[in-house]
Amino acid sequence: MSTHTIVAPASGPGPAGVSIIRLSGPACAAVGMALLGGLPPPRQARLVRVLDPDGAPIDRALALFFKAPHSFTGEDVLELHVHGGPAVVRDTLAACLAVEGVRLAEPGAFSRRAFQNGKMDLTAAEGLADLVEAETAAQRKQALRQMEGALAGEVERWRETIIDSLADAEGDIDFPDEDLPPGLSLRARERIAALRASLTGFLDDSRRAERVRSGFQVVIIGRPNAGKSSLINQLAQRDAAIVSAKPGTTRDIVDVRVVLGGMVVLVSDTAGLRTSQDEIEAEGIRRARQRALDADLRLGLLTHEDERAEFADLMRPGDVWLLGQADRIAWPAAGSDEIVISSVTRQGLVQLEELIATRAQQDAARSEAPPLTRLRHQEAVREAVSALDRALNAPAEAAELVAEDLRLAARSLGRITGRVDIEDVLDRLFSQFCIGK
């Protein structure tokens, strides 16, 4: 438990009907006595008068008290639900800070105390941060599952499998001459191989979680002056990219974040694909081709049928050809992988938006397994896979090496939930939270 008490607004800034002032720590009782004349019974809301240090009233508010360890942080927690005017919030905070032992909370301080007091693991804390930042239903669902322990439960099952295998390996080390059941090493290797395959599958699927958090990546490719920038402005419903009749205007990648069908989509406008002697434009074309290769969906924008061959090497099965500038080009009937569009008349734009949203939703729903949402999760799993590979490739008689690699694998996975070696990630993680959380 901490020796000092922290306080901060737990609700958004600005005037509001209600603002929540949250305190956590041993001085909650003193704050209750100084500001309210006493604490309400635990877990019961009481209407109270909030007083300043001189005994003058600040506000009439609701007070809630949570006795340790039955609170979000595991400490005594006091919440004051005051009216949301700036003066009320300011003066209530000042009255709390006038009590000895109370100080302002830094970003993430409440959640960090919850972690340190065993109320949540690191994956739950990260899920909470993602839930606060969620813009779409898909992000909310993913964050809520992680906050409620879906990923932590999976990681713990992985660790238990390694520990079981480690017990088998150490049996060969500690009791080589004992009459133990045959096949201990074989049984351990079978578990290790199955776990390695499972971890590799999670790594292969990790981009799905990144797409839910950061956006399903769509890239528009085509020749200069095909209308890529006009199209991205239509999708964004604002002037996100410069539109000019001069070829080669777009030289770097322009990313626009939009929400389609409840999914975050990152649409990229790229340099027109052509042969260029201009060093800067050529670099933009190289980046455009690389971004196209990395994208989840490519939109090939055409102004003439002959242009397909120029960048067909970038298109993949399931990608879409856009037959552009339909307001002045008479295209034939579109095929199954084609959409006739015009940024001037908005012909085909609704169809295109629905297609992108459907693809993003299908991608997000591809697996029900709890995803690896953070780069640090993926790095830890990769380290565990490498250790398991070494264990599988060790000589049959080298039980000591197998056991050591299994310990390293378990340790790598333990870092995901915060069981081991977590000090280096705590500051970075909780500094990303808003103040009051």
Say which residue the tokens 């991205």 belong to.
232
- 3-state SS of 361-407 is HHHHCCCCCCCCCCHHHHHHHHHHHHHHHHHHHCCCCCHHHHHHHHH
Q: Is 225 known as a binding-site position?
A: yes
Q: Is 374 known to sit in a ligand binding site?
A: no
**What SS3 state is found at 42?**
strand
Sign, CA dihedral 325-328-331-335, equals positive
- The verdict on whether residue 276 carries a ligand-binding annotation is no
* Euclidean distance between CA atoms 388 and 408, whole angstroms: 9
Residue 230, marked binder: yes
| Residues near 341 by beta carbon (within 8 Å), at least 6 away in sequence | 231, 322, 323, 324, 326, 347, 348, 349, 352
Radius of gyration of the CA atoms of the chain, in A: 29
Token pair recorded at residue 260:
């389609």
How far is 230 from 223, CA to CA, in rounded Å? 13
> What residue has token string 């095909």?
226
| Helix (H) or strand (E) run with residue 217 in it | strand 216-222
Q: Is 109 annotated as a binding residue?
A: no
Q: Report whether 386 belongs to an annotated binding site.
A: no
Structural contact between residues 65 and 40, judged by C-beta atoms closer than 8 angstroms = yes
The answer to whether the annotation marks 57 as part of a ligand binding site is no
The string of DSSP letters for 273-333 reads -S----HHHHHHHHHHHHHHHH-SEEEEEESSGGGHHHHGGG--TT-EEEE--TTT-----
Q: What gap in Å lies between CA 256 and CA 247, rounded to an integer?
A: 21
Dihedrals φ, ψ of 318, to 5°? 95, -15
Closest to 126 (Cα-Cα) out of 112, 106, 105? 112
Q: Is 250 annotated as a binding residue?
A: yes
Q: Is 200 annotated as a binding residue?
A: no
Has 269 been labeled as part of a binding site?
Answer: yes
Q: Is 129 part of any known ligand binding site?
A: no
The reply to whether 389 sits in an annotated binding site is no
Decide: 60 and 84 in contact? Cβ < 8 Å.
no
Half-sphere exposure of 247 (CA within 13 A, CB side): 11
Token readout for 334 is 């579109």
Annotation-wise, does 272 bind a ligand? yes
Residue 292, annotated ligand binder?
Answer: no
249 is in an annotated binding site: yes
**229 annotated as ligand-binding:** yes
Residue 373 assigned to a binding site: no
Is residue 22 a known part of a binding site?
yes
> What is the length of the chain?
437
**255 annotated ligand binder:** no
CA distance 297 to 353: 13
Q: Which amino acids are annotated as binding site, given as ranges?
A: 22, 79, 119, 225-230, 244-250, 269-272, 437
Q: Which amino acids are annotated as binding site for (6S)-5-formyl-5,6,7,8-tetrahydrofolate, given as ranges?
A: 22, 79, 119, 437
Q: Which amino acids are annotated as binding site for Mg(2+), given as ranges?
A: 229, 250
Q: Which amino acids are annotated as binding site for GTP, given as ranges?
A: 225-230, 244-250, 269-272
